[in-house]
Structure 1
Amino acid sequence: MTDIELYAIASVGAMLAGGINTLAGNGSAITLTILTELLGLPPNLANGTNRIGVFTQTSVAAGVFYKNGKLNPIHVKKYLWPIFVGAIAGGVLALNVSNEQFRSVFRFMMVFMLIAVLVKPKRWLRDTDSDYKPNMFIWMPALFVIGFYGGFIQMGMGIFFLIIMVLGMKVNIIESNAFKGLVIGSYTLIVLAMFHFQGLVDWKIGSILAVGQTVGGYLTARFASKSKWADQIAYYVLIIVLVLAVAKLFLT
C-alpha cells in the first residue's frame, strides 16, 4: 500500500472520529488505532500527535455550537478551571509514564459507562435544568479527575464528560457536547505544547489526520445544532460507540 493510500484511509477514519467525538465521544480510539496500527507510531508519540486533530476538531465544533446558540461560555466557565488544572496534571504524567498499562483497566471503565448510559434513558433526553444547583464539593473533584484523565490519555474522555454533565449537572446532551468541545479545545492546546517540547508530536501525520477530524467535527456540530432529532441521535450514537468499544476490548 502506498503512502497516499495509507493517508487517504487515515483521513476517512479521522473524519469519522471527528464526527463521533462531536456527538458522543471515544473517537480517539479510532485515531489512536490509525496512528499506531496503520501508520506505525509508538504509543507515546501517537498520544501526542493525536492532540493536533483533537484541538482543531473541538475548537471548530465549539465555534459552530456557539454560533448556533448551543453554547454559552459564561454559564459554564465555573466548570472549566478544575478540568483545565486536571488536564495539565494528566499531561505531565503522560510525558513520563506510558499509558499502555492503563488500557487493561479501560475495558471495565467502558462497561461502567455503558451501564450508566443505558439506565433510565429519559435522563439523557431532557432539557437543561437551569434551576438545578449541583453540589460543587462533589462535582469539582470529579471534574478535576476527568480533566486529569483527558490530559493523560484522552480516549473516552468525552463519554466520561457527558456522563458527568448530563447525569450530574443535568445539562442537555447537545449543550453538554458543545461545552465538551470548548473544554477539550482549551486544555488540549496546552497539553499539545507540552508533548511538542518533548518531541512527541509528528506534525506531518497529525496535520493530515486533523483535516479529517476537523471536517467531521464541523459537519456534525452543524447538524447537531439544527436538527430537532439531535438529542435522540446523540444518545443512540453514544450507545453504539460504547457497545462497539466494549465488544472490541473484550473480544480482541
Structure 2
Amino acid sequence: MTVPEILALLSIGGIAGFINVLSAGGSMLTLPLLMFLGLPPQVANGTNRVAITLQSVMAVSSFHRMGHSNLVVSLHLAIPAVVGSLLGAWVATWVADTVFQFVLVAAMIGASVFLLLPQPKLDTRPLTKDRLRPAIYLAMFVIGVYGGFIQVGVGVLFIVVLYHMLKIDLRQVNVLKVFIVLLFTFAALLVFAFNGQVRWGMGLTLAVGNVVGAFVAARVNMGEQGAKWVKWITLTMVAAIMIRLVLF
C-alpha cells in the first residue's frame, strides 16, 4: 500500500466507524473506497468485514463499560441474523461483478432515500425478551442475509425493525445493533476468508480508523440528536461516491 492509500483508509475508516455506531451508512463509504483502490468487488466486500468486525468489538465493549447493554435480547436477535449472514455471504462469494455493483448502487440509493425521510415520533419503551415475536426473528434473518451479502445500509434496516416494529428509542437501537452486527459480520468474514476474498493488510488498516471512530461515537451516543447531523455528512459523501460509481 502507498502512503496516500493508507491515509485514505484511515481517514474514511474513522468517519465510517463514527457513522456506523451513531447512525447508519458507514459501509457506503468504505466498500466503494476499497473498490476504488483496486480490489475486485467480492474481495472488497470481504475485506470491509475486517474493519466492521473490529469496530463492532470496540463499540460493544464501550457500551458495556458505560452500562448500556441488553445481552439476553441481543443474543436472541443475533442467532437468526448469524444464520442469515452465512447464507448471504456464501452467495456474495460467487455472484458476478456486474450484479454486485448494481446491488451496491441500488443499496446506496435506497439507504440514502430512507435517511432523508422524516422519522415519526413513537411512544418508545425498554425492550424485554417477552416482547419478541416470530416476525422479529424473521426480520433478523432477512437482515442477516442482506448484511452477509453486502453490509451497505444494514444499519437502516435495523432502524426500520427495532425502532418501528419494537418501538425502542434510537439509543437502544444503537446498543442492540452493534452487538448483532458484531456476531453476524464475524460469521460473514469467516466465509469470505475461507474463499480467499479478504486482503488483511487493507482490512486491518481500515479497521484502525473504524475502531477510533467507533470509540468516539460510543461516547457521544446521543440517539436522535446525533443522527440528525451525522446523516447529512453521510449523504453528501455518498452522493459523490455514487456519481463516481455510475460515471467512471
TM-score by length of 2: 0.86
Give me the whole-angstrom Cα distance separating, in 2, the residues matched to 1:199 and 1:175: 36
Query: Structure 1 110/138 Cα, relative in aligned 2: closer, same or farther at 3 Å?
Result: farther
Partner of 1:213: 210
Aligned ranges for residues 35-54 of structure 1 at < 5 Å? 35-37=34-36, 39-54=37-52
Structure 1 length-normalised TM = 0.84
CA contact (8 A) 1:61 1:218 kept: yes
Structure 2 equivalent of residue 169 of structure 1: 166
Match of 1:86 in 2: 84
Instruction: Tell me the distance in 1 between the aligned counterparts of 2:118 and 2:217.
Output: 26
Percent of pairs identical after alignment? 31
- What amino acid sits opposite 1:155 in the alignment? V
Q: Give me the whole-angstrom Cα distance separating, in 2, the residues matched to 1:44 and 1:109.
A: 16
Listed one character per residue, the Cα deviations across residues 174-225 of structure 1 (whole Å, up to 9, x for unaligned) are 221111111111122222122112111111111111101111011111121x
Name the structure 1 match of 2:95: 97
Q: Which amino acid aligns with 1:29?
A: M
Q: Aligned partners of 1:215 and 1:241: how far apart in 2?
A: 17
The alignment partner of 1:96 has SS state of coil
Deviations 1:39-81 (Å, cap 9, x if unpaired)?
Answer: 2111111111111000000111011112112221113322121
One-letter code of the match for 1:27? G
Partner of 1:31: 30
Matched letter for residue 14 of structure 1: G
Structure 1 stretches lacking a partner, 5+ long: none
Q: Specify which of 201, 224, 230 is matched with residue 237 of structure 1.
A: 230
User: Is the CA contact (8 Å cut-off) linking 1:83 and 1:183 kept in structure 2?
Assistant: yes
| Displacement over 6 Å in runs of 4+ | none
Question: Residue 69 of structure 2 aligns with which residue?
Answer: 71
Q: Hey, what does 1:18 align to over in structure 2?
A: 17
1:99: how far off? 6.2
Write the distance in 2 (CA, Å) between the matches of 1:40 and 1:115. Answer: 28
Count residues with an aligned counterpart: 245
Secondary structure of the residue that 2:167 maps to in structure 1? coil
Alpha-carbon offset, residue 245 of structure 1: 3.9
**CA drift at 1:172:** 1.4
Alignment of 1:68-147 (within 5 A): 68-98=66-96, 100-104=98-102, 121-123=119-121, 127-130=124-127, 136-147=133-144
Aligned to 2:2: 3
Would you say the 8 A contact 1:86–1:147 is kept in 2?
yes
Which stretch of structure 1 is more off in the superposition, 41-50 or 182-191? 182-191
SS state at 1:26 partner: coil
Q: Secondary structure at the match of 2:96?
A: coil
In structure 2, what is the Cα distance between the partners aligned to 1:47 and 1:78? 27
CA-CA distance at 1:237 after TM superposition: 2.5
Secondary structure at the counterpart of residue 123 of structure 1 = coil
Preserved contact between residue 26 and residue 159 of structure 1 (Cα < 8 Å): yes
SS of residue paired to 2:175: helix
C-alpha distance in structure 1 between counterparts of 2:178 and 2:208, whole Å: 16
